[in-house]
Amino acid sequence: MDYIGIFDAIGPNMIGPSSSHTAGAVSMALLARKLFGRPIQKVTFTLYGSFAMTYKGHGTDKALLGGTLGFATDDERIRDAFAIAEQRGILYEFIIDGKTQTEHPNTADIVMESADGYIQSVRGESTGGGKVKIVRINNIDVEFTGEYSTLIVRQTDKPGIVAHITQCLANQDVNIAFMRLFREDKGAAAYTVVESDEKIPESVLDEMKSNPNVHELMLIEV
């Protein structure tokens, strides 16, 4: 059972009104921003299910944009997210999709674009109490929460890549808490998600990149 402490019962500190529809929305966009890892020029959000039905009254739109701007769940600038995005020259769009059925009622797709045309799509679920899950990156189903130090590797699905990843982590003394492989088709693009209790040093990334079948590395520090 997860530890429940003083500041879980008297906490978290958060921008209201709803832990699932506001704080959770901030967290999933913040994760998408970390996964994107470069300046954002444009962002498009698609809201499904309960998000689509009640986003206005819960400020889910401002929360998603606030997370995209890098604000934490207790950042009072979230209320002014639209104005701040405009000041920073970030374009944003909301698509309200009340029809498409998603697995979880509180689901959003977040598509980020950079000035040089790099595009990444991330699907997040707000699972309650402010907790979130990333369940899709660029059409490949994945699953992680960002509660641990997380390394996401985009690779070609070929023999030896997973061994390479674990060897690089072992060389830097990183203890793996969870590790999973997600792929679309055999031999095509795949993601390895590694979660660790401790900080994953950035120096791991250089060694890992040396393999030609490793295409992209995304590091989420807690």
Partner 1 sequence: MDFKNSAELLSLCEENEIPISEVMKMREMTEGGLSEILLRQKMKRVIDIMERGTHEPLVSPQKSIGGLIGGEAKRAAEFARESTPICGTTLSKALAYSMAVLEVNATMGLIVAAPTAGSSGVVPGALIAVKEEYHLSEECLEKGLINASAIGYLLMRNASVSGAEAGCQAEVGAASAMAAAALVEMLGGTVQMSLEAASIAISNLLGLVCDPIAGLVEAPCQSRNAIGVSNAFTCAQLALSGVRHPIPFDEMAESMYKVGRSIPYELRETAMGGNAGTPTGCSLCSK
| Pick 58 or 164: Cβ nearer partner 1 | 58
State yes or no: residue 56 binds partner 1 (CB under 8 A).
yes
Cα dihedral sign, 24-126-16-69: positive
Stretch that binds partner 1, among 33-41, 70-78, 138-146, 187-195 (CB under 8 A): 70-78
Q: Which of 169, 163, 166, 171 is nearest to 198 (CA)?
A: 169
State yes or no: residue 19 binds partner 1 (CB under 8 A).
yes
Provide the minimum distance between the beta carbon of 52 and partner 1 in the complex, in angstroms, as a whole number. Answer: 12
E strand or H helix at 25: helix 24-36
Binders of partner 1 among 121-140, rule CB under 8 A?
128-130
DSSP code per residue over 119-142? EEEEEEEEEETTEEEEEEETTEEE
| Pick 74 or 198: Cβ nearer partner 1 | 74
HSE, side-chain direction, 13 A CA sphere, residue 14 = 24
Provide the minimum distance between the beta carbon of 74 and partner 1 in the complex, in angstroms, as a whole number. Answer: 6
- State which of residues 33, 58, 123, 164 lies at the interface with partner 1 (CB under 8 A): 58
Strands across the sheet containing 189-196? 176-183, 189-196, 149-156, 214-220
Q: Which residues bind partner 1 (CB under 8 A)?
A: 1, 3-19, 22-23, 50, 53-54, 56-59, 62, 74, 76, 78-79, 128-130
